[in-house]
Amino acid sequence: MPNWAAVILAAGKGTRMKSKLPKVMHLLAGKSMIEHVLDLVKKNEVERSLVILGHGREKIEEFLAGRAEIVIQAEQLGTGHALMQALPYLDGVDNIVVLSGDQPLIRPETLAELIRIHTDSQGAATLLTAQFDNPYGYGRVVKDGEKFVKIVEEKDATSEERAIREINTGTYCFNVAKLREALRRIKPQNAQGEYYLTEVFDIFVTQGEKITTFCTKDGNEALGINSRVQLAEAEHVLRERILHYWMDEGVTIIDPASTFIGCEVKLSRDVVIEPFTTLKGKTRIAEDVILGPQTTLEDCVCETGCQVAHSVAKKAQIGPRCNVGPFAYLRPGTVLEAGVKVGDFVEIKNSRIGQGSKVPHLSYVGDSQVGQSVNIGAGTITCNYDGINKHQTIIGDNVFIGSNTNLVAPVEIGEGAVTGAGSTITRNVPAYALAVERSTQKLKENWVRNKKQ
């Protein structure tokens, strides 16, 4: 949008979070609050975002590099003072939208509507409000009939004003020229001795400037996060939004109450999610996949028709029609080609398992390349680590690894070869050979009977 910019206030300390981490860096549905707000701005095609930083700024600055312009408010003297810091950077900008870094639940369509109303009205300011049953702590919007009168903070309000349920969400659009003029005139004469941004409204009213209010229907959008309890409340709201969105898109979620889906996860139609399942990061799930119960996937890709139950996977790629679990652990770099079976108590790391191969039980496969239609017997271990370095195991197509085989890497098992159960394989096995490494079984006939006599 031409000549618009967003200013995001985020210099406050967030004392009540009791955290090393700056407040706006706390995560909601897997994404930091400040990113939620920046994404909201971006979805509205406002190109410039200025973030006002103060407390803990070093930790946020690094994170925001290249994503937003940073403006420092060295001393936190109030929301009005915070916005003053942005003015020198707003030359040539006609209108701004002001948001708070700790209010990440505003919907893109609500902000779009606020911007549209501001553009149409051509007024000095447009204010996003909400109706709260319990408005405690928020600035109240005082009106005379439909006419805007002022915003009064909780600490400065009379008991009559405190009864007002329409609150200031802290999200506004301003005409920059008029804002400059008004900010010059505000003074820290209030209960908190701060420069209140809300005081510019008093100045606009005195000057007869046009102020429009827009009340959102969804009060949750105004939720400000000041404490861990509010963080959990916001998480709950966002989680329900995400779950409803995916159900509307054709995903079956058996038990929404025990399902957690991060805001960057992408699902497809006819995916079924069983209870107690968490999907995180940039996980991508194709059609007809069945996930859960009790499954956690982070940054994974699940291709069409695969199933994962009672398992944990991170940065793994699970091919079409694969069957994973119960109790499998797929670590980063795992690639399962089509139709692979990974069963119970199997751990796979940094390995590719070829089409149709099976690792059905109790195995560790690390740093390996496994061909197609391979059967890996129960209890097989790739001994990939010699205490200093990691080494590769290469297994050709149609290999049969007998149960309880140790494959001491680096080692290569040629196509179609077989290893005998219980073998420790330390040398390469040529194609179609049998490798057995174990002592010959001794038999003592009637040993037990003789002993008992």
For strand 434-435 and strand 48-53, is the pairing parallel, antiparallel, or unpaired?
A: unpaired
Question: Of the candidates 78, 123, 319, 420, which one interacts with ligand UD1 according to CB under 6 A?
Answer: 78
Structure tokens at 41: 């701005």
Give the residue from 28, 211, 192 showing the smallest Cα distance to 121. 211
Query: By CB under 5 A, what part of segment 242-281 binds Mg ion?
Result: none
Count H helices, E strands: the chain? Answer: 9, 40
The answer to the question of residue 7 lying near ligand UD1 (CB under 6 A) is no
317/302 Cα distance (integer angstroms): 6
x/- site string to Mg ion, residues 210 to 229, per CB under 5 A? --------------x-----
Q: Which helix (H) or strand (E) holds 250?
A: none
x/- site string to ligand UD1, residues 324 to 363, per CB under 6 A? ----------------------------------------
Question: Of the candidates 17, 34, 40, 82, which one interacts with ligand UD1 according to CB under 6 A?
Answer: 82
- Which strand ranges, in their side-by-side order, compose the sheet holding 368-370? 284-285, 301-302, 317-318, 335-336, 352-353, 368-370, 393-395, 411-413
* Residue 36 appears among annotated catalytic residues: no
Q: Exposed/middle/buried for 54, CB within 10 Å: 0-12, 13-18, 19+?
A: buried
The answer to the question of residue 307 lying near ligand UD1 (CB under 6 A) is no
Residues in the interface with ligand UD1 (CB under 6 A) total 27
Could you tell me the maximum CA-CA distance found in the chain, to the nearest angstrom?
115
Least distance between ligand UD1 and beta carbon 120 (Å): 24
148/226 Cα distance (integer angstroms): 28
The answer to the question of residue 141 lying near ligand UD1 (CB under 6 A) is no
The answer to the question of residue 233 lying near Mg ion (CB under 5 A) is no
Are 380 and 401 in contact, with CB atoms under 8 Å apart?
Answer: yes
Question: Of the candidates 77, 87, 205, 408, which one interacts with ligand UD1 according to CB under 6 A?
Answer: 77
Task: Find the part of the chain contacting ligand UD1 (CB under 6 A) among 8-16, 315-323, 325-333, 381-389.
Answer: 8-16
Least distance between Mg ion and beta carbon 12 (Å): 7
117/128 Cα distance (integer angstroms): 10
163/166 Cα distance (integer angstroms): 9
Least distance between ligand UD1 and beta carbon 139 (Å): 2
For strand 31-32 and strand 284-285, is the pairing parallel, antiparallel, or unpaired?
A: unpaired
Q: Between residues 224 and 326, which has the closer beta carbon with respect to Mg ion?
A: 224
Least distance between ligand UD1 and beta carbon 308 (Å): 40
Which of 55, 310, 361, 391 does the annotation list as catalytic?
361
User: Which residues contact ligand UD1 by CB under 6 A?
Assistant: 9-12, 52, 73, 76-79, 81-82, 100-102, 138-139, 151, 153, 167-170, 196-198, 224
**Which residues belong to the active site?**
361
User: Which residues contact Mg ion by CB under 5 A?
Assistant: 224
